[in-house]
Structure 1
């Protein structure tokens, strides 16, 4: 299977992460987009300052790259409190969580990324910690086990998740504020890019900003990454100001097309249309056809293709929509899926019919 990482994938190399961190806004006033969440969160933080108490626990949900980690950092900065960062996958035992909680200082902000991936024993310990600021440490085993209560200083938990539905109800209910982050519009992404270009001392005109923003999948992280690749292209070609033509040429070289589709996206659509007649076809069969792991196709390519109306998910498998045929410049067969058909969604764990 291919180990290639698409340019628009959610992961990033360490150097890329350092640059992304430098571009992160440091306060709510500089944070672009998400006006509803920003306004509500500002009210929560301001009220906690007036009451001189720690802020309520905050749950942030939404797709990767929309600013959940940045908002956690902003919450700590606005509350003038230290920030502790961990993640759900790193907390596999209740003892792991107890060690983190017991070392918190008063008012500290604890950020748990991918909180839905914590182990169940750790989740149950977190219930009491969030509500009563105490945990019970169990010493010993069997009949001789003893629970020792440990008081915790007041703290604020900021949880981030890409799959809020996987969080148990009792955990969700203990968050005082829940914010769902939406994909960005092109004008909002242009504002993000203008700020980044200023910090990078990069000259880009309005048409150049639009070209990059329109190919960024509605995601600021991807927009900033594409801007850096355009910057590299312009530097090598000796271009001082980036316009639409330069941005388009750079992104075409990196195989990011006008809709924001990368090599993997187009490979999935091309295989679906040319090898399987538009479908339906099972996910694992489609992944084999493009030489990728099933998880890569499902988590990297599929969400964006479905959101753009290029791919449909049905109980029988994946199908290409008329828009997919048109985008690839292919003629849709008469016996392919009709444009008026309703696509029926199904759960990720539901079995798919394989040809």
Structure 2
């Protein structure tokens, strides 16, 4: 009954429809991110009073924190339409030109993972963001000509999980840049009570607090755990999400008290039991747990590092003292893996002999 992606901050295609019902529709309903919410409210109110589209907006931060919800809220607050696409879907400049020329005045264009947009399309976007004009090249070679096309004034909302991959010219063209932070347990509890009301799930304060504490500070994970606990409560309990029900349900789904799942614990267990706490190379660690290195690095490590359970060092990954205690192990006296000899990476190529 385990769900491998239960604590992943990324949404599957099947899950996006389930998320729609609990997403806030207005800025006043958006929980947490108080600083970003206040700044965005000023931006939108000022633009509506002037009767012009607001500046382009860039939203950055880890997945699952509400960037897509904020983009839809911007369009709802402005009373305009929204066109949704993603950076990987825009492979050619002509694809972007077709989208831009179809926008009505004041519309919102939302580009998710905007850092992955193709370079020719990105260069076309520059003139559209600044001058509301695109130049479409017709023909090839010496006979090619550029046809200028006017674009209705619009607001671009870009979302990225890796703001460092954005080019300087692209970043500079956004008038408002906001970074979303992880939610506090109190904010997640408020969010869970709201989602439970929408889904019609009876939930106690203790039950909400238990789920919030295992949600890694991410609303998407909190809502996902709520749905799984609801299933458990309806099938094996009286339908009410209480503290005991939440604990029993999350035990069934292999989510422990810190929000670690099976793969997270497998990484820590391999570090502690097989490699004496490290340091160990990423590829060697991935082989030990039977996963791809990218999965370990992108799915497991961000939370493990943030939770203080794993450290990245120049010699490799190291289990911290907290990791030893979380697994119920006694760390080596005074080492915690830091003084142990490095474990060679199986995929590291040895230097060639002269």
Q: TM-score, normalised by structure 2?
A: 0.93
CA RMSD of aligned residues (A): 1.7
1:186 corresponding residue in structure 2: 185
The alpha carbon displacement at 1:5 in A equals 3.2
1:113 corresponding residue in structure 2: 112
State how far apart, in whole Å, the 2-side matches of 1:198 and 1:71 are. Answer: 21
1:78–1:209 CA distance, 2 compared to 1 (3 A): same
Q: Comparing 13-22 with 191-200, which one deviates more in the overlay?
A: 13-22
Secondary structure of the corresponding residue to residue 221 of structure 1: helix
Conserved 8 A contact 2:10-2:64: no
Conserved 8 A contact 1:193-1:209: yes
The alpha carbon displacement at 1:18 in A equals 1.4
State how far apart, in whole Å, the 2-side matches of 1:207 and 1:120 are. Answer: 50
1:247-268, Cα deviation, whole Å (9 max, x unpaired) = 0110011000000001111011
Secondary structure of the corresponding residue to residue 27 of structure 2: coil
1:134-159, Cα deviation, whole Å (9 max, x unpaired) = 01111111222111111100000000
The alpha carbon displacement at 1:230 in A equals 0.4
State how far apart, in whole Å, the 2-side matches of 1:211 and 1:22 are. Answer: 23
2:342 corresponding residue in structure 1: none
1:171 corresponding residue in structure 2: 170
1:101–1:109 CA distance, 2 compared to 1 (3 A): same
State how far apart, in whole Å, the 1-side matches of 2:237 and 2:311 are. Answer: 43
1:297 corresponding residue in structure 2: 296
State how far apart, in whole Å, the 2-side matches of 1:231 and 1:15 are. Answer: 18
1:133 corresponding residue in structure 2: 132
State how far apart, in whole Å, the 2-side matches of 1:331 and 1:337 are. Answer: 9
State how far apart, in whole Å, the 2-side matches of 1:335 and 1:285 are. Answer: 25
> Structure 2 matches for 1:310-321, cutoff 5 A?
310-321=309-320
2:19 corresponding residue in structure 1: 20
State how far apart, in whole Å, the 1-side matches of 2:116 and 2:348 are. Answer: 25
Conserved 8 A contact 1:85-1:112: yes
1:273 corresponding residue in structure 2: 272
1:81 corresponding residue in structure 2: 80
State how far apart, in whole Å, the 1-side matches of 2:206 and 2:294 are. Answer: 36
1:174–1:352 CA distance, 2 compared to 1 (3 A): farther
2:286 corresponding residue in structure 1: 287
1:318-352, Cα deviation, whole Å (9 max, x unpaired) = 1100000000001112363378x9xxxxxxxxx98
Conserved 8 A contact 1:110-1:157: yes
1:256 corresponding residue in structure 2: 255
Conserved 8 A contact 1:317-1:353: no
State how far apart, in whole Å, the 1-side matches of 2:79 and 2:247 are. Answer: 42
Conserved 8 A contact 2:64-2:220: yes
Conserved 8 A contact 1:316-1:353: no
